Amino acid sequence: MRLARSRTSLVALAVLAGCHGASSSSPPPPPPPSGPVVQAWVSPTTWGAPWQDGASTLVQHARFDGASLVETKGISWSTVGAAAPAQRAFGGFPDGPRYGAGPFDASRFQAAGGDALDLRGDMTVCAVVKPQLNPLVDGNEGIIVAKGLQGESGWVLMQMHDQFCFHYQAGGAGSFMTPGQWMITTSTHLGDAPAGSRNQELNASYVVVCAGRDGDTIRMSANGVADTMQEMTITGAMVAPTEPATIGGYANGDPNHAFHGRVYETAVWKEAATPKNLQAKLAAFQGLTLADGSVATYLRPGEAPFVGVDGQYHTTWLHGPRIDPAKGFLFGLQGYNRLADPEALDRWTAAGGAAVVADQSEPPGDSERASADRVTLPAGATLTATQRGTFPASTVLQGQLWVRQVPGSASGTVVVKDGRGPGADLAIDLAAIGTGWTRVFVPGLRTDPTGVAQFILANTSSSQVEFDAWGAVLTELAGGGDLGGFDPGPSLYSSGGTQGTEAIDKLLLPPLTQSTGSGYCLSVVAAPAEHLPWSARFASWRVAAEWMAADGQTWSQLRVGAGTSGQLCLDLATAARGGETRWACAPTAGLADGSAHEVKGCVTPAGELHLYVDGAAAGTAGSDPPGLPNVPPPDLAGGQLTVGSGAADHNWNGYVSKALVCKGSDPGPCAL
């Protein structure tokens, strides 16, 4: 059980995770930890609320109430052009619906005066938006909020093709096109391809983007600063803008700069856009602010679906957490989607007269774009997806497809066939599904001995069938494992996008600054996904929480073992002992599928490891190699706790609602 470990949390993340900053208008978090608790994280019960108005540095704050723009800082906005953009409700947050205005095809909001936004020095601007689809060659660059005009004066926050951009007009040569024009960008990871081409996913329900000036540096980030933050050194003072502030387009009415997405909220602060300030603004919206005012860092390399408090299907973007107000943060339940074109079935291989017409209906979620395809299968016809990469040989896979019957079409049956492995075919009765979107889970798919699988839609009946389809998946959930008929639900989907990696997500808490003394406890409240057994046979460990020392070689974690063991364990490995691992493990047979439990692992000053489940002692000790003597535990100060995964990227595949680090080895006081 001796494992090679690698530290994935960067020094920059450690610094940013300790920052303090603005909070949202959510209820106050629990009080900071005290007594033996040296660090505490509790999943929020609410998030996604507007930024608070209390900061004296806040000079502009606009949001939408379903009927009009609401400005809280005294700026007067009017609609220029046709009627004000329509507003659409997003109900996925606990505090009630948020409203987004857009698209801004024929109008914009324009300020009367707005001199408060003529900020010549330090400033920060943030917006909550639903991105637009903005292909490279269509000539459009969408203005989110601006006080000026790119290349001439002031500052501009915009979406330009597959990037969020911040333009700033100052002195010097500039970095883009004209003298004095400075521009920084961060990728949207949305398709930047010629207009009309495919693979242009637009699934994100919302993104939080911030930018601004900090001394002689301009900086921006989206959703989180982990790998989206960009910065640039500039020269001179901002060129004074003569244009009024605008939302959704330029004051000159240029139709090529209308924003075709939606704007939920904009805010401007007269304060430096430091990395800590940007992270604090993003964290306030995302529910990542801890009780002591510091912030956690959430990481995930791609988009992820979730079911909101409204019971509807939504998608959070890169580094956006999936939170249930009762269960906590959801980690895992995704894998790398090996289908090359999961949203473009017209690129699949057609046989027997199969035909696909692209972009005929709006898919599930919030894309607001007709990107689901219409499939016609004559009797005996097939449509076969293209696989990218290979799986391990003879492994179990999971699949899914969203399907709806075309209104007015004949009923019939579509069969999802396992073209290479021995998995059973799955019949889809279109009449039973009806004309509303239905997610079809496809269990039991398998690869052949070469690691290849096939996902085939077939008409085995004697008459033609017609249906709309979207969001196909063929994946090996969380590194693989025989999970029987377990259905992970809508969270399984990943478009793949530009990431091409396993969708590992994790929550990094600020580095520990307080000593844990000569002994410590780690504690979590965690649950596997609904209907998932605690002893589910994943190929990899499932880590609920892991502490890692600064050396990247000393670590301790609470996890469930892989394969048939399925035991719940506390592990401790120390670099000083050559990576020797000691553990205390207990069977999980008595824990109900999907049930939440408090799990604590404590190490005494003498190095004895003890495991507790719901307050009761559990487990027996072991080591690798066997028979190792106990050694005094490390002081956890200076290390960092990761929730939902660990340095080796073993996702928990369920919910975690609380994580504690405590001084001393007595489990009783290790509580909030």
Asked if 61 and 53 count as a contact pair (C-beta separation under 8 A), the reply is yes
Number of other CB atoms surrounding residue 320 within 10 Å: 25
Which tokens in the block code for residue 650? Answer: 């073993």
Mapping DSSP to helix (H, G, I), strand (E, B) and coil, where does residue 285 land?
Answer: helix
Residue 199 pLDDT: 47
The CB-side HSE value for 106 (13 A sphere, CA atoms) comes to 5
Number of other CB atoms surrounding residue 11 within 10 Å: 10
The per-type count for the chain, helices as H runs and strands as E runs, is 4, 44
Mapping DSSP to helix (H, G, I), strand (E, B) and coil, where does residue 178 land?
Answer: coil
Round the average pLDDT of the chain to a whole number and report it: 88
- Digit-coded pLDDT (tens) for 465-514: 999 999 999 988 877 888 888 999 999 998 864 444 566 899 999 999 99
CATH superfamily of the domain spanning 345-475: Galactose-binding domain-like (2.60.120.260)
Residue 445 pLDDT: 85
Query: Alpha-carbon distance 148 to 41, whole Å?
Result: 42
Q: Which CATH architecture has domain 1-46+287-336+485-672?
A: Sandwich (2.60)
Residues with Cβ within 8 Å of residue 96, at least 6 apart in sequence: none
Distance of CA 433 to the CA centre of its chain: 30
The CB-side HSE value for 450 (13 A sphere, CA atoms) comes to 5
> Which residues of the chain form CATH 2.60.120.200?
1-46+287-336+485-672, 48-285
Mapping DSSP to helix (H, G, I), strand (E, B) and coil, where does residue 176 land?
Answer: coil
Pairing of strands 438-446, 37-42: unpaired
- Digit-coded pLDDT (tens) for 27-54: 445 555 668 999 999 999 999 999 999 8
Please provide residue 43's backbone torsions phi and psi, each rounded to the nearest 5 degrees: -60, 135
Residue 422 pLDDT: 60
Query: Alpha-carbon distance 299 to 187, whole Å?
Result: 16
> Which residues of the chain form CATH 2.60.120.260?
345-475
- Digit-coded pLDDT (tens) for 110-124: 999 767 899 999 999
- Digit-coded pLDDT (tens) for 603-647: 999 999 999 999 999 988 998 888 899 989 999 999 999 999 988
**pTM of the predicted model, to two decimals?**
0.92
User: Which string of b and e fits 33-51 if b means at least 16 CB within 10 Å?
Assistant: beebbbbbbbbbbbbbbbb
Percent of the chain scoring above 90 in pLDDT: 67
Residue 25 pLDDT: 43
Which tokens in the block code for residue 374? Answer: 């219409």
User: Which string of b and e fits 476-485 if b means at least 16 CB within 10 Å?
Assistant: bbbbbbebee
Task: Using alpha carbons only, give the angle 637, 638, 641 rounded to the nearest 5 degrees.
Answer: 85
Place of tokens 């070469």: 450
Residue 111 pLDDT: 96
The answer to whether residue 350 scores a pLDDT higher than 90 is yes
The answer to whether residue 26 scores a pLDDT higher than 50 is no
Predicted confidence band at 565 (pLDDT cuts at 50, 70, 90)? Answer: confident
Distance of CA 91 to the CA centre of its chain: 18
Beta-ladder partners of 155: 147, 168
Nearest to 374 by CA among 508, 259, 470, 263: 470
Q: What is the DSSP string of 270-281?
A: SS---HHHHHHH
Q: Which CATH architecture has domain 48-285?
A: Sandwich (2.60)
Number of other CB atoms surrounding residue 388 within 10 Å: 14
Dihedral over Cα of 250, 272, 274, 231: its sign: positive
Query: Alpha-carbon distance 330 to 333, whole Å?
Result: 8
Nearest to 400 by CA among 338, 448, 460, 349: 338
The CB-side HSE value for 18 (13 A sphere, CA atoms) comes to 10
Q: What is the DSSP letter of 81?
A: E
